[in-house]
Every structure is written in structure tokens, then in C-alpha cells.
Amino acid sequence: MDKRLPPLQSLLAFEASARLGSFSRAAAELALTQSAISHQIQNLEVWVGQALFSRHGRGVKLTSAGELFAGTVADALQTLREGRARIEPYRNPDSVLLACGADFAAGWLTPRLADLRARHPALEVWLITQDELSEIDRIDVDLIVSTRQLHSEQMQSVPLLADHALAVCGPATARRLAGLALAEVLLAAPLLIDEHHPEWAPWLPALALPTTRALTVDDARLRLAAAQDELGIAMLSRLSVDGALRRGSLCALAQLPTVALAPLWLTQSKLAPRTPAVQLAYDWLRAAAAEA
């Protein structure tokens, strides 16, 4: 098998022609002449050793081989585009790629990024928010904050932050519930339920209290927003609501018990940091967590 690859321009011409079903439309999209597109397709057909299009008058149609090859080429070009996007952050030597959960990013991290910026004005954070973070890829990410301790031959984790779930509501609701006992609070305000934890809190079923529910949704950020809008009481991660509590748009209800949650770990490669900026971000995260 010939291991040589066809020119990229031929692949682009073929992909556009296959997708648009027309050499003329492909030419317009790629800012080429129709004859140039036809020439690129002919070169590609020589390389594959068979026709990729059948010609019908002034129109064209993919052959069976062309249909199969079109999927391969489209996937290959998309892989190239994604590969370029993956390395885009490395154009800036002061960039840091940090992966963490979206709730933590919104509630704890982003409210503190102004401090990082003030200390290191040149540093640029690329934030990758994922709820499931299992491994560190040195091509994709420099640091990971997650509930998993990711020790291996390639990576090392250190404790970052403890966490717990607590009952929160909007300021007006908090004022209305002030001074009430636990049972009275639960009778006086509806609950905002996590679809994956319909009991609301592990300690609630044992109380056998008649409660009401205002909202059930699987997105913690929507429960947070609903609590801020005075819809009811939500049980949320302390770290995910840290910014809202500090701004005063949410209030914690001290009458209701908290629930321990998994702590967060900070993970980095055991190899030397990719750039000094990565070490600066690592040190800042640990210092900010120590002060929290």
C-alpha cells in the first residue's frame, strides 16, 4: 500500500464537494475556481485508484467508494481542527490549563481569579470544566482540581479543600425563617431537590416531616439560582455557593445540619511544570485554599 498521503488541498476540495454535492458550491466556499476543484478531485482519485464521483451532465454524485471515503476524510479533517484547538493555549507561554468541576469553578474559583490576576497580570487561565476528571494529559491540561486523589507514576495529588453540603436560601427567605427551629423551617419553606438525591438530605427521612417541594432538577447551578430567587431551600456544596454567600445573594440556614462531602484534591504532573506560569497557578491555588 502506498504510504504517501494526498495533498491537504485535495482533501479539503473533496470534503467540501462531498458535503455540498457540487463542485461549483465547493469552489465558492473555498474561494477557488471550479476547474481547480475538479483538478484536486482528479488528483485524489488517482491517489485512491478509483472514481470518487460519478459525473451526470453538469452534476456530480458520490460513488459508493466516495461515500465511504467522505466519512473518513471528514473525520480526519475534524481531528486536525480539534488538534489545533488543543494546542492553541500554548501560543502563550503564560497560559495555564486548569480542569475542574463546573460548580466549583463558578462558586469558588472564578470569584477569586481577580486576585490571581492582580498578583500575576500576565497569567492567562484556560478553564476546562468537567464533572468527571480521571487523568491528567500533559498535552491538554496542566492542573486538575477534583474529588479524586490521582496518584500514579505520572501524577501527584495534594489535599486542597474540605467540603460539605449546607442548606441555603435567598436573603428574604432567610429573614422569614430566622428564629425558627429545624422542624419549623422545613414546614415553612419548600425544598429544591437534586434529581439524583430525592431525599434532599440524608438526615431528612428519619424526621418523617411533611415537606413540600418547589423544584426538582439535576443541575446544582439551577438549584442555586432558584434559591437566590427565593423559591425555596437547597442543599448545596459549600464550595459551589461560596461566592454567593460572600456576596450576600444566598444565606446559610444554621438550624439545619450540614452533610460531609468528598474533599477536593489538586493534581499536577510529577514532571517539571510546562512553564513557570503553571507553578505560579499551582502555588496560588494552594495559598487561596489555605486562606478560605
* pLDDT tens-place string over residues 184-215: 999 999 999 999 999 999 999 999 999 999 99
150 plus 276 within the same structural domain: yes
Q: How many domains does the chain have?
A: 3
Q: What's residue 132's pLDDT?
A: 57
From 62, 89, 116, the end of a domain falls on 89
Q: What's residue 12's pLDDT?
A: 96
Higher pLDDT, residue 115 or 87: 115
SS (HEC) of the chain = CCCCCCCHHHHHHHHHHHHHCCHHHHHHHHCCCHHHHHHHHHHHHHHHCCCCEEEECCEEEECHHHHHHHHHHHHHHHHHHHHHHHHHHHHCCCEEEEEECHHHHHHHHHHHHHHHHHHCCCCEEEEEECCCCCCCCCCCCCEEEECCCCCCCCEEEEEEEEEEEEEEECHHHHHHHCCCCHHHHHHHCCEEEECCECCCCCCCHHHCCCCCEEEEECCHHHHHHHHHCCCCEEEEECCCCHHHHHHCCCEECCCCCCEEEEEEEEEEECCCCCCHHHHHHHHHHHHHHHHC
Q: What's residue 92's pLDDT?
A: 87
74 plus 104 within the same structural domain: no
Q: What's residue 23's pLDDT?
A: 94
157 plus 20 within the same structural domain: no
188 backbone dihedrals φ, ψ, rounded to 5°: -95, -15
Has residue 212 been placed in a domain?
yes
Has residue 69 been placed in a domain?
yes
Domain with 224 in it: what CATH number? 3.40.190.10
On the question of pLDDT at 47 being above 60, the answer is yes
Has residue 2 been placed in a domain?
no
Has residue 59 been placed in a domain?
yes
CA dist., res. 173 & res. 120, Å (int): 40
CA dist., res. 157 & res. 239, Å (int): 19
Has residue 21 been placed in a domain?
yes
101 plus 234 within the same structural domain: no
Q: What's residue 240's pLDDT?
A: 96
252 plus 202 within the same structural domain: yes
194 plus 256 within the same structural domain: yes
Has residue 248 been placed in a domain?
yes
Has residue 30 been placed in a domain?
yes
Residue pointed to by grid coordinates 480542569? 99
CA dist., res. 264 & res. 159, Å (int): 6
243 plus 279 within the same structural domain: no
53 plus 183 within the same structural domain: no
Q: Which three cell numbers stand for residue 133?
A: 476528571
Q: What mean pLDDT is reported for the chain?
A: 92
251 plus 107 within the same structural domain: no
168 plus 158 within the same structural domain: no
Domain with 69 in it: what CATH number? 1.10.10.10
Name the amino acid, one letter, at 73. V
Has residue 1 been placed in a domain?
no
- Domain span at residue 169 reads 164-260
Mean pLDDT: which of 58-62, 70-74, 137-141, 148-152 is highest? 70-74
From 63, 89, 115, the end of a domain falls on 89
* pLDDT tens-place string over residues 110-169: 999 999 999 999 999 999 887 655 545 444 789 999 998 887 888 899 999 999 999 999
171 plus 284 within the same structural domain: no
Tell me the percentage of the chain whose pLDDT exceeds 70: 96
Q: The whole model's pTM is what?
A: 0.77
Residue pointed to by grid coordinates 460539605? 164
From 42, 72, 89, the end of a domain falls on 89
109 plus 254 within the same structural domain: no
